[in-house]
Structure 1
Amino acid sequence: MGVVVVVAVVVVVGLIVVGMFGGLHWYLWRRLVRDTTARGSIARRAGTGVIIAGPVLLIGAFVAESAGIPFLIIQMIAWPGYMWGALLVYLVLWLLAGELIRPLFRRWTAGADSSATFVPAPEDVLVPATEVSDAAARDRQEQQEHPAPVSRRLFVSRAASGAAALAAVTTVGYGSYGVLSGPRVKQLTLPLANLPRAAHGFRIAVVSDIHLGPILGRGFAERVVETINGTQPDLIAVVGDLVDGSVEHLRSAVEPLSRLHARHGAYFVTGNHEYFSGAEQWTEHVQELGLHLLANSRTELPHFDLAGVNDIQGERIGQGPDFVAALGDRDLARTAVLLAHQPVQIHDAVEFGVDLQLSGHTHGGQMWPGNFLASLANPTVAGLERYGDTQLYVTRGAGAWGPPVRVGAPSDITVIELASKQA
């Protein structure tokens, strides 16, 4: 009985999602195509084709990797598909904003010299049927010699839709430039109560959510590595979601990570996306690249303990986070820094007396207003917060998942300088 209920809920939720997805595209078609083009025109056919092809490519981008098709084709689908996803978000938002302005614009144009600029829309004029047949030839001749001015309704629709489309393309273009040009470096000094004086000034470069895959490839990885090495950190923490794809497809893309350099090495913990991409193969491969794997384990550095736990997604294959294994038998007098991909793991960190947890996962929301959705599932979306005696820092991440677009949540690599209160 319980299984039937679960299946029914999944089906209902699925139908709701599909209905909303289809409804959004119908709204786009109505405002961008139907309201701005003539029936049967080339423009209407082309616009309809784009509205149909966009969601098809977007769905294809999501399922391409699991379908086992060649990686080159995955890349060809991913770029237009994911970019359509970003455009969909901002086309809808800008069009909805336009709905508020549209009545005011109509009222303003109504006060203009309509004889010079506007004529009534065809649907606003009632023409007797007997006159239509008699005037048809004359109308065609007159339209050829003197094309009718654009109606007020059509003018408003084209102006509002054109402005929304321009704003959406500009927003997505700017957001793409921010991602593809590489993450910026943030600097943060963080005092820790139990940190010994000898560790004062220890610098950790925190990077998460690089998301190497069909869009962000080897060139992006090289920029990330160059940026990290340029900060000359004492330690590098790669906090999950390194890849979106298999080792087979991304071996070349991740190779630059072998050149990460820090005095105390580079450490890696899994994120949820590793478990979508073959976690066992990736945990082996990152070690071949020279990264130290912290899989529910801990290493004792000269002045503090560095621990790492697996991502929660690992529970589905019996490899979930194990705080007891990572922190259960440690010396509580020593400072503990924990690498955990998801901020929600902070509650276990508090219980085990961790001084600082470093996380990613949220992307800071990636595309506004995604930050509001991210805040529903995460205690901290970005930045530094305190939970009891434990501090949590969440980086927005270096890359992007899905569309290579960030709006209101710039990518970052954070260099945290630990400060001793005894210094």
Structure 2
Amino acid sequence: MTQTEQEAGRRARPRGRGGFLPVVVLVVLLLFGMPWWVLVTPWPGPVAVAGTVVFAVAAVAFPFLMFLGHGRGRDWAARVGDTMLGVVWVLFAWSVLGVVPRLLFDDRLVAVLVAAVAVVLVAWGVYEAMRVPRVRRMDVVLPKLGAGLDGTTVVVLADTHFGPIDRVRWSTRTAAAVHALKPDIVCHAGDIADGTVEARLAQAAPLGTIEAALARVYVTGNHEYFGEAQGWLDHMASLGWEPLHNRHVVVSRGGASLVLAGIDDATARASGLAGHGAQLEVALAGAPAGAPVLLVAHQPRQVAQAAAAGVDLQVSGHTHGGQIWPFHYLVRVDQPTVQGLTRHGPTQLYTTRGTGFWGPPLRVFAPSEITLLTLRAPDSGH
């Protein structure tokens, strides 16, 4: 896929700009207005004026920074705008929670408490976002899994979002942590980066050092379709990974087989890129009958297709576990689950909270993870 073809696909997308600006204005007014009301209005003249100026300047600058950063690829603007978004979201959430206490206690006391909580949560959130993810371990029983593959370990990565903040060191340490687990299979469930391969080459390079006994597989997420999806598929192939672009591979051990299938992200077709779009029937075509199927699909809501096809296990990312509390309530409106192992008809779904973060370099009450799933046969005794 050439860059010209990708640009043509992006131009083909419907814009819907008519109603976009009022929504942006409303969101910015709410995000900045609520913290201003709780934190600034209780104070006398000079403090109130200074606080109002700060919030007003931030509110005006914020959408322009986000546009420059994510619309025009200016990393410096993305870093500032994303950090501003994280801070104001924490302030907004806790300001909303401070409304009721304002009816019972002194307004200034509530303002101080909200500010103090926000400072602590932002500092903790930055630490949680930038550290190497902890390993989250879970056994998953697959009724059709043969004894030869009992105990097969599957590492799930997703949402690394290599982006405006240079995280080469983080990427290197995360890859080393995965390598130390000595996995049989490693899956990257999409949203590998924000930007082109060229722009994020150094941050993605450590993925090439990860080894797996049976397979390393990768599917696209929605963010690849903001940049160059085909470029990332090709680059992961150059690093030794199997791009599951609506296709499958079969791994075997001890006379047992497992189908590893992958589909494009749910947004792929709307991107306009030729040959892209989630096609589960294509991905499973020719798969050995009777073998269990592990499907890698970026978004949990793609489990509806998986369940209809009788897929045994789907692994997904996308939700980030909400990333910054209480955003998970909004995520739940769009997705059937936010994190963990759930069942949907015949299909089990594991949704990881993600390995990295998008945008704000914060994680609050939604820790990142390197997921280690151990697949179990039904009669394994575990």
After TM superposition, the score normalised by the length of structure 1 is 0.80
**Residue 415 in structure 1 maps to residue 372 in structure 2:** yes
Cα deviations across residues 336-390 of structure 1 (Å, max 9, x unaligned)? Answer: 1111111111111122221111111111111121111111111121111112221
Distance across 2 between alignment mates of 1:54 and 1:203: 47
Q: Give the % identical residues.
A: 34
List aligned pairs for 1:263-342, cutoff 5 A: 263-302=213-252, 303-316=257-270, 317=272, 318=274, 319-342=276-299
Offset of residue 212 of structure 1: 0.8
Q: Match for 1:36 among 35, 43, 48?
A: 43
8 Å contact kept, 2:171–2:203: yes
Offset of residue 59 of structure 1: 2.3
Q: Match for 1:187 among 112, 137, 142?
A: 137
2:149 corresponds in structure 1 to 199
Cα deviations across residues 131-153 of structure 1 (Å, max 9, x unaligned)? Answer: xxxxxxxxxxxxxxxxxxxxxxx
**Paired residue type of 2:117:** A
Distance across 1 between alignment mates of 2:332 and 2:302: 15
8 Å contact kept, 2:215–2:251: no
Q: Match for 2:189 among 230, 235, 239?
A: 239
Distance across 2 between alignment mates of 1:402 and 1:376: 20
Distance across 2 between alignment mates of 1:395 and 1:407: 16
Q: Match for 1:51 among 49, 52, 55?
A: 55
Structure 1: any 5+ residue segments left out of the alignment? 1-6, 106-155
Q: 1:30 to 1:421 in 2, by over 3 A?
A: closer
Distance across 2 between alignment mates of 1:189 and 1:81: 40
**Residue 104 in structure 1 maps to residue 108 in structure 2:** no
Q: Match for 2:25 among 13, 18, 24?
A: 18
**Paired residue type of 1:344:** R
1:217 corresponds in structure 2 to 167
Offset of residue 331 of structure 1: 2.3
Which structure has more RCO (C-alpha within 8 Å, separation ≥ 6)?
Answer: 2
Q: 1:36 to 1:339 in 2, by over 3 A?
A: same
Structure 2: any 5+ residue segments left out of the alignment? 1-13
Q: 1:9 to 1:265 in 2, by over 3 A?
A: closer
SS in 1 for 2:98: helix
Q: Match for 2:207 among 223, 239, 257?
A: 257
Distance across 2 between alignment mates of 1:297 and 1:402: 31
8 Å contact kept, 1:240–1:341: yes
**Paired residue total:** 360
1:398 corresponds in structure 2 to 355
2:78 corresponds in structure 1 to 78
Distance across 2 between alignment mates of 1:16 and 1:65: 19
8 Å contact kept, 1:196–1:422: no
Q: 1:321 to 1:186 in 2, by over 3 A?
A: same
SS in 2 for 1:87: helix
After TM superposition, the score normalised by the length of structure 2 is 0.88
Distance across 1 between alignment mates of 2:54 and 2:76: 16
2:333 corresponds in structure 1 to 376
Offset of residue 9 of structure 1: 8.1
Q: 1:307 to 1:238 in 2, by over 3 A?
A: same
The answer to which of 204-213 and 94-103 deviates more is 94-103
Offset of residue 177 of structure 1: 0.9
Comparing both structures, which one devotes a greater share of its residues to helix? 1
**Residue 346 in structure 1 maps to residue 306 in structure 2:** no
